[in-house]
Structure 1
């Protein structure tokens, strides 16, 4: 069982599993060419690829988009972020998937207007990943010099490989966690969804 391997072997297994999704590896390689500061490929495209492979489904099955986070607090204008987004559209134009690029340094500027509650500024891309609704999903990958994979997995990989969805009660609200759990378990019924802990935070973050 992968989750019982030493961490370095788990990381190698993660790379092997993710590499079975050809779209994902293509997005990684093309994003690296953009030279974005502090970038990671993150969110559903990663953990859903793992769930697909572990349960014997097509690696890219059911994955709607590929999220790229980067962090540039030197220019917080929409124009700067939009320039990156437009450059990305050209780089990813022929891929059979939607790639969404976002500057996580700007999230606090628009978050309240969209969701109705304030969001403190993120100090890094990693901090943005930390805000995901489930700790199982807190994962980011990027390509560095020489083709080396850099993996950010603050809660490890055991729950991911074991198909266990664990809530993130400090950084995400119960309602979002439970809504995502229902949706994901509908697509991957093998998931074990752990309940929201009693007394957990109700902070409104998606």
Structure 2
């Protein structure tokens, strides 16, 4: 099993699987051109590519969009973020996928209105990745200037390779986790979805 390989070999396997998704490779390459601070391509487009490879589906099957996080606390205005989003539209023009760019330094300004719980300010894009509703989502990849891949995976890769969806009850409410898990199981019925814990301690993170 891949999840029992040494970590360096797991990372090699992750890159090999993600490289099967040509759209993802293009998103990584084009995002690097934007030169955004602390950026990652993250969440569904990564772990769902792995799920597709493991279950012998086309690499892009079921992937709704490609999320790009960056972190710029120097200007928290919507206008600054919107300028980046518009620049992204030009960079990603012609790509057969939706790419969503978000400044994670601004999440606390809108999160409560959308999800009903408060989110104190993040200190980094990594902090945002830490607090997705499922630990399986907590994965980020970016291209460094020398072409190396930087992989951020605070919960490791075992669940990703093993098709396990595990709750991460640090901010997002149970309803968000369960809605996502239900949607994912419709596309990937091979998933093992673990139940939300009966009691949890809520801390301040989101994504």
Deviation at 1:198, TM superposition (A): 2.2
Moved more, 123-132 or 173-182: 173-182
In 2: Cα distance, 1:113 partner to 1:171 partner: 14
1:171 aligned residue = 171
In 1: Cα distance, 2:169 partner to 2:69 partner: 22
List alignment gaps of at least 5 residues for structure 2: none
1:105 aligned residue = 105
Q: Deviations over 1:19-46 (max 9, x none)?
A: 0000000000000010000000001100
Q: Deviations over 1:161-206 (max 9, x none)?
A: 0001111122332211111111111110000111112212478967
Superposed, 1:80-91 pairs within 5 Å as: 80-91=80-91
1:25 aligned residue = 25
1:127 aligned residue = 127
Please tell me whether the aligned partners of residues 173 and 203 of structure 1 are also in contact (alpha carbons under 8 angstroms). no
In 2: Cα distance, 1:203 partner to 1:176 partner: 16
Deviation at 1:116, TM superposition (A): 3.3
Structure 2 SS opposite 1:52 = helix
In 2: Cα distance, 1:189 partner to 1:178 partner: 15
> What's the Cα RMSD here?
1.5
1:2 aligned residue = 2
2:49 aligned residue = 49
1:159 aligned residue = 159
Change (3 A) 1:196 1:114: closer
User: TM-score scaled to structure 2, two decimals?
Assistant: 0.95
Structure 1 SS opposite 2:168 = coil
